Structure 1
Amino acid sequence: MAEPKPDIDHVEKEHDVENGICHGVSTHPQSLADSDDIKGVDFTVDEADLPTGYFHSLPFLGSMLAIGVSFACGVGGFAFAAPILSYINADIGPDPNLTWVALTYTLTTGVCLILVGRLSDLFGRRWFMIGGACLGTLGTIVCATAQNIPALIAGETLVGLGASAQISFAFTLNEIIPFKYRILANGYVYVWGLIASGLAPLISYAFVFKTSVGWRGVYYLLIAMNATALICWFFFYHPPTFSMKHSRQTKIQFIKHFDYVGTFLVTLGLLLFFMGLSWGGQLHPWKSAYVIATIVVGAILLIAFGLYEAFMPLREALLPTHVTKHRDFMFAITIWSLGSAIYYAFAIIWPTMLVTLYGGAHSSDPMWPGYAALALNGGISFGEVIGAVVTKKRIHNIIQATLFIGSALLAATASCTPDTPTRAIVLMFLGSMFIGWLEVVSSTYSSLIVKDQRELGTAIGFAGSFRSTLSTICSTVYTVILSNRLTANIASMMPPALIEAGLPSSSIGDFITALTGGNTTALDLVPGVSPTIITAGSNAYQVASAASYRTVFYSTIAFSGIGIIFSIFLPNIDHLLTSEVSTTLHSGKADEATVPKRQEEKE
């Protein structure tokens, strides 16, 4: 039996593969234990050979519904909570660990995505998806009933664990769709994202200000969505089982030889690395031993993981080295990750910018920040859907164009001041729209370029963890820049304005503390304060904040510049847009034997 060779010498199938990419197989001999019995049976079949009505069957339609609703649950677990954290804190807090409500989501998904992808490749996907829906349901119940912030953090941890399976549509969906329709199919999933992410600020603010249940309403909604997804996964989603994938071996054999050392190294490494980045500037100063030690130890463990996977003779490596040696794949997922980083960073920064710079002028309408926040969330989701509909071919050129235009528009947001809310909203929407377009095409490109589609979960699971890691790094860089610049600008801009307005110099420290902390009672008690001084101080604070946000937008150029350089080297993969389907579904145990299979023995 032969195996697709990881990185070179693969057979070019049906096409003139000018860039060395194909989904064919190699004649390079390897031992059975290291090749096809690990990857399992190749279920690839041409669309024309599928049973009549396959794409209208209940298993297929029910699975599509499960994938869409689950994606909405996965992204909604973060997107619904992020805009209203301050209101949640006011209700069941205050708690200095509030930021962990959002950070735990990124932490858990980043760690678990690589595990879900690899394990579901080996053992079959069905029960991992069902398990993700169960965890999501349980997590949202915990959040909905939380009486304090630690309980909410615990619930969000479960939500994040479940989301690692729920947002894995890049392999659960793409493998059951013909290659040529993958972009359009991904657009279908992003329609669900438009609801759960694009409209998330509006929905969240509506629950807070328009209903009696308040912020808990977002979790009641997520409970219903998770339960729906769970039902669909259980009754309709029947991909190839373990026995269908590996007819010659048992689960015990796979469990016995699994890469436990690599799993330990990457799990602990990512946890420590993420925790160090999350602690810095929040719970502990950046120069703190807690922060430095966790980041350094986490980084060392991740390096050790890479070396272990590369040099140890592993039968079931958690991350086969040929995945990371595939240059074009690594370029593609880096670009995909940079697009994601923009969303996760600005999902935190953009709402605070709206309130700080423009909230005062719209204080009479508590829903205004929710509407304005749609510029980011709605722009991303709108771009994802539109990009899926209009992109047909030459995906690499679309990636290059959308990355450049989106990056330029977001950088241009640096030109905004406290007097230009409309310009800020328009630029954020347009920039986010192109980044959303980039998201759908780069994620599809990453799935198409995987040489052996039997390892799609492994490759995309690694891409998801890589994406979360890079997103966390970028988010940390942006928030640190904002914090540092805000401290410096307030110190240099506010005192002169306050003194000129008539505030005694001895009262400046108390005034700044009260104003930046939002404590209006303390502000009125500052010695020598007057309405005129408060107005002057508020204006100076807005100017200092605008200068600080300007620096953040400029900093995006560094990350987007790396992506633009990488995009230049992406090859044209139009020849991969074929009618082949990687994996076919069946309707249950009685139907397992009817699933179309390729011949195991390849010449």
Structure 2
Amino acid sequence: MALENKTENTQAMKIENISPKHLESQLTVTPANVELLAEEIALEATHYVDAVGWKFLIEPYTIFMGLATGAQCCYAFLAGELMPNKHKMLAISLALYIFCYFPKEAAQAFNKREQTKKLDFLGIFLLVAGLVLFILGIMTGGSPYPWKSAQVLGMVISGGICLIALCVWEVYQGENAFFAVHLFKDVRGFGMNCICSAVGGISNVALSIIWPTQVAYMYSTGSSWQVVGAMSCTIGFGLWGGMVFLGPLWGPIGHPKWILIVSNIWMTVFIGALAHCNPDNKTFAIVCSFLAALPIGFVEQQTGAIAQLVVGDREIGTSFGTMGCVRVGTGAIGTGIVLAILTGEHSTFTYEKSETDIFKAKIPVELEAHIVPAALKAGLPATSIADLFAAIFASSETAMAAVPGINAEIISAVGRAQLDGYAAAYRYIYYATIPFGVLATASAVALRPVAHLLTSHVPKMVENPQAHHGSRDLKKTMD
């Protein structure tokens, strides 16, 4: 509203040139631009958070942490080959490997140089370049660059072209392809399962990043650091619980398709329920965040097992690796979109009603919508709004006490309005994830039956290196 009623003579202003310490020297505080000043200062706070985030991304230890996470994903290759189909995700299998797995056949000697030459370096480059460019384009869209700027459009379009080129390139790579495009020809098997896994990846990564910040904004006031820390980990506890405790039950219970459908509905319902979190229902937030994450971990185990069931024995590793690539890639892209909804904004205001309104960041918009009316209603002079937001941004009691016309009643009203503003901003995130959950549920419904594949068949027999890698069971699912 504040941006739509400006006069024609109002000039566009760069957000990066605005900060609380020199805001008053650039604009005169009048009732006509009070809301504008409030929004600009709120956006400035968001940009400072973004700046810290980008510095973190370029730290060397962040890169090493990312490289180290690849090894732990190999558990599925081991379980997929050496465990019976119906016990692929049984947690106790790890202990059995340690105490019972002593292969009699000699380790096969590989020529490392020849193996390295077979790596699909161009495909790897296209994948990395495509994801990095596309995600950077989304993350920088609105802040610090406008969505229609050459920088944002260039990164998004070039990233999309790289990903399309990757799919085309991998079609002609045969056995050397690391991204098995041909598996997607099995639409009702591998394809539908991949969609379920991808949505789980979006929910996993997005909630793991978004939830701790929401806890810090909404529930840290009056709580000890131990409580805040534990509450921030409820998503992690739920993910871990779903993998460790629910995952092993998948095979023994049977009915994998129905379990996947129920898990996706469960996930969608409780993620949507998180939209109703507010500063007054901390217990509700804790319970819903845990229950929202629990099926996400369960779905990750289910889709990992199904990806290995719907292909021949020779393609177990390729299938899981391709699905994991899709899961991580879409999870990163989805997280970029979620963060753009929460904190992204145009770096230039035109003060005109246009289609760019849909790109408004929710945090500054909701802070303005809640704090300004609450402060004015409590009796704060309109000319003190800019000083109020400067004090909020500085998180200083001294600065807050120095705001002209401030008193304890106004401070209390502003504090409550700030919490309500954050709750309203995060609500959009959870609403935005509901369509993804519906898509995952529909994909689970479309998945062809795989219950008859939960047999005692072991893809790789250590005692018999020449064990068949046939597709006898798989053919039954294609009928």
Q: What TM-score do you get using the length of structure 2 for normalisation?
A: 0.75
* Residues 409/263 of structure 1: CA separation in 2 closer, same or farther (3 Å cut): closer
Q: Which residue of 2 aligns with 1:372?
A: 231
CA contact (8 A) 2:79 2:89 kept: no
Aligned match for 1:596, one of 465, 473, 478: 465
Residues 325-404 of structure 1 aligned to structure 2 (within 5 Å): 325-327=185-187, 328-362=189-223, 365-391=224-250, 392=252, 393-404=254-265
CA contact (8 A) 1:269 1:297 kept: yes
Give runs of aligned pairs for residues 195-234 of structure 1, distance below 5 A: none
Tell me the residue number matched to 2:406: 529
Alignment root-mean-square deviation, CA: 3.2
Question: How far is the alpha carbon of 1:578 from its aligned partner?
Answer: 2.3
The separation in 1 between residues aligned to 2:441 and 2:105, in whole angstroms, is 37
Equivalent position of 2:74 in the other structure: 168
Please name the residue that 2:126 is paired with. Answer: 265
Q: How does 1:112-151 map to 2 (within 5 A)?
A: none
Q: Cα deviation per residue 1:362-411 (whole Å; 9 max; x = unaligned)?
A: 2xx11111121232111222222231243321111100001102211220
- How many residue pairs are counted as aligned between the two chains? 401
Q: CA deviation at 1:323?
A: 1.6
Residue among 495, 510, 513 paired with 2:387: 510
Matching of residues 72-87 of structure 1 within 5 Å? none
Is residue 387–residue 441 contact of structure 1 (8 Å, CA) maintained in 2?
no
**Residue 320 to residue 372, structure 1, CA distance change in 2 (3 Å):** closer
Question: Which whole-Å deviations, capped at 9, do the CAs of 1:306-361 have from their partners, x for residues lacking one?
Answer: 12223x36562333432222212121122122122212111121112122222213
Structure 2 contact 459–469 (Cα < 8 Å) conserved: no
The letter of the residue matching 1:596 is P
Whether 1:462 and 2:327 are equivalent positions in the alignment is no
Alpha-carbon spacing, 1:243–1:602, altered in 2? closer, same or farther (3 Å): farther
Name the counterpart of 1:181.
Answer: 87
Is 1:324 matched up with 2:184? yes
Q: Distance in 2 between matches of 1:506 and 1:265?
A: 54
**Aligned partners of 1:430 and 1:96: how far apart in 2?**
29
Residue 545 of structure 1 corresponds to 422
The corresponding residue for 1:411 is 272
The structural deviation recorded for 1:241 is 5.5
1:99 to 43, 50, 53: 53
Partner of 2:448: 571
Match of residue 583 from structure 1? 460
Q: For the structure 1 residues 379 and 322, does the alpha-carbon distance in structure 2 shift closer, same or farther, using more than 3 Å as the test? A: same
Q: Counterparts of 2:468 and 2:363 in 1: how far apart (Å)?
A: 63
**Structure 1: which 5+ residue stretches go unaligned?**
1-93, 105-149, 192-231, 245-249, 586-593
Q: Choose from 430, 436, 443 the match for 2:297.
A: 436
The separation in 2 between residues aligned to 1:270 and 1:342, in whole angstroms, is: 18
1:543 to 1:286, Cα distance in 2 relative to 1, 3 A: same
Aligned equivalents of 1:306, 1:357: Cα separation in 2: 43
Q: For residues 439 and 148 of structure 2, what CA distance do their matches in structure 1 show?
A: 28
Q: Is the 8 A contact 2:314 2:469 kept in 1?
A: no
* Distance (whole Å) between structure 2 residues aligned to residue 517 and residue 179 of structure 1: 58
Q: Tell me the CA shift for residue 551 of structure 1.
A: 1.9
- Pairwise CA distance, 1:595: 5.9
- Write the distance in 2 (CA, Å) between the matches of 1:601 and 1:299: 37
Counterpart residue identity of residue 597, structure 1: Q
Letter in 1 for 2:152: V
For each residue in 1:8-38, what CA deviation from the matched residue of structure 2 results, as whole angstroms up to 9, or x when unmatched? xxxxxxxxxxxxxxxxxxxxxxxxxxxxxxx
Q: How far apart, in 1, do the equivalents of 2:66 and 2:442 lie? A: 32
Aligned-pair CA distance for 1:429: 1.6
Q: What is the CA–CA distance in structure 2 between the aligned matches of 1:255 and 1:380, rounded to whole Å?
A: 35
Paired residue secondary structure (2:190): helix
Which sits farther off after the overlay, 326-335 or 235-244? 235-244
For the structure 1 residues 316 and 529, does the alpha-carbon distance in structure 2 shift closer, same or farther, using more than 3 Å as the test?
same
CA distance in 2: counterparts of 1:101 and 1:282, whole angstroms: 15
- Kept in 2, the 8 Å contact 1:188–1:385? The answer is no
**Hey, what's the Cα distance between the residues in 2 that align with 1:306 and 1:159?**
28
Aligned AA (2:88): R
* Percent of aligned pairs with the same amino acid: 29
Cα offset for 1:548?
1.4
Show CA shifts across 1:424-458 (max 9, x none). 11122222222222222222222222x12322222
2:385 aligned with 1:493: no
Give the stretch that moved more between structures: 235-244 or 567-576: 235-244
Distance 1:528 1:242 in 2: 80
Q: With CA pairs under 8 Å and 6+ residues apart, which has the higher RCO, 1 or 2?
A: 2
Cα deviation for residue 510 of structure 1 reads 3.0
Distance in 2 (alpha carbons) for counterparts of 1:100 and 1:240: 48
Quick one: distance in 2 between partners of 1:382 and 1:287? 43
Q: What TM-score does the superposition give when structure 1 sets the normalisation length? A: 0.60
Letter of the aligned partner of 2:432 in structure 1? S
Distance 1:495 1:427 in 2: 31
| 1:295 matches 2:156 | yes
- When residues 441 and 599 of structure 1 are mapped into structure 2, their CA distance, relative to the original with a 3 A threshold, is closer
Shift of 1:96: 5.8
CA distance in 2, matches of 1:602, 1:543: 57
Amino acid at match of 2:212: P
1:277: Cα distance to partner? 3.1
